Structure 1
């Protein structure tokens, strides 16, 4: 058995370890679960969900079982060392700066190079986008409220509050712009 290597784990590493803490899974299972849960607020390439489990196997944090014949699917399970790494990460301080990667915010910053029509359309589009996302989160929350754990529900609640707050910003901004146009 090869000696486990030590490398700095990434956010994707912890996503995989966390999901495998619920149940063993294939990379496809992980992709599906994540798309319907934390994928709503933590975006990353799906290819990472196919590569990262193998890296965690090499790190000695996850085991893999390869299907005999057929598609030879690999099912991954978290090992005690993986649970320990996840617990260490959960207990570490979380003082990182939050990175907001909102394309609407980026466009707004540069809109002095656009037109008034562009500005109004941006405000309308972003208001609607955040409203739609908040509505979808509320629907998801209603679907999982009876079986999800309280931390998953609280995560959904924060997502809803965030989207409603940003929706309100764009609504207020649009109202301000439309009032200016009436003068």
Structure 2
């Protein structure tokens, strides 16, 4: 019977399907690729790797020349488990949004504080959008340099699509907060 794995454990299997990596490498790759929609903290990565190894889905070896650093590899059983998981329908994500829950209770705030709440979120989104757009430009440049039809180009295309999704989702949320500002803030000052 296959062990019950967390989505984070499956994400680690997915990253290891690209090639062997240490826990540190996995954290860095996750930060560089999927951090806009999937947080991968050390508190998730290392327990997931331990669980995956205990289940025989990954193996680890000591990295030569390092002090206790482990390098992990996905096993054939891990590849099968990952593929089975990919074929399953994804559950709807739990949606928790700290700024939106604050806005829900925003009627309690004086106008200046409400303005600050809305403007802070809009500023955060503008900064986030700028960062994702830079990521998109980098990804598209890298993709254009890869041999068309190659395995690495195919993998990179999926990453580029995810970045495009991040741009679209972030831009949509920013437009919504702009609408919030138009509806709730005095017209002369938003």
Shared fold by TM > 0.5? yes
The separation in 2 between residues aligned to 1:77 and 1:31, in whole angstroms, is 15
Match status 1:154 vs 2:161: yes
The separation in 1 between residues aligned to 2:30 and 2:174, in whole angstroms, is 25
Measured at CA, do residues 112 and 176 of structure 1 come closer, stay the same or move farther in structure 2, by a change above 3 Å?
closer
User: Where does structure 1 lack aligned partners over 5 or more consecutive residues?
Assistant: none
Alignment: residue pair count: 177
Question: Partner residue of 1:128?
Answer: 123
Cα offset, 1:73, TM superposition: 1.2
Cα offset, 1:47, TM superposition: 2.0
Question: Partner residue of 1:167?
Answer: 174
The separation in 2 between residues aligned to 1:152 and 1:20, in whole angstroms, is 15
Structure 1-normalised TM-score? 0.88
**Pick from 1, 5, 21: which aligns with 1:9?**
5
SS of 1:149 mapped into structure 2:
helix
Pairing of 1:1-183 with structure 2 (within 5 A): 6-67=2-63, 70-94=66-90, 96-145=91-140, 146-147=142-143, 149-179=156-186
User: Where does structure 2 lack aligned partners over 5 or more consecutive residues?
Assistant: 144-154
Measured at CA, do residues 70 and 93 of structure 1 come closer, stay the same or move farther in structure 2, by a change above 3 Å?
closer
The separation in 1 between residues aligned to 2:127 and 2:166, in whole angstroms, is 12
The separation in 2 between residues aligned to 1:117 and 1:173, in whole angstroms, is 15
Measured at CA, do residues 84 and 171 of structure 1 come closer, stay the same or move farther in structure 2, by a change above 3 Å?
same
The separation in 1 between residues aligned to 2:68 and 2:47, in whole angstroms, is 16
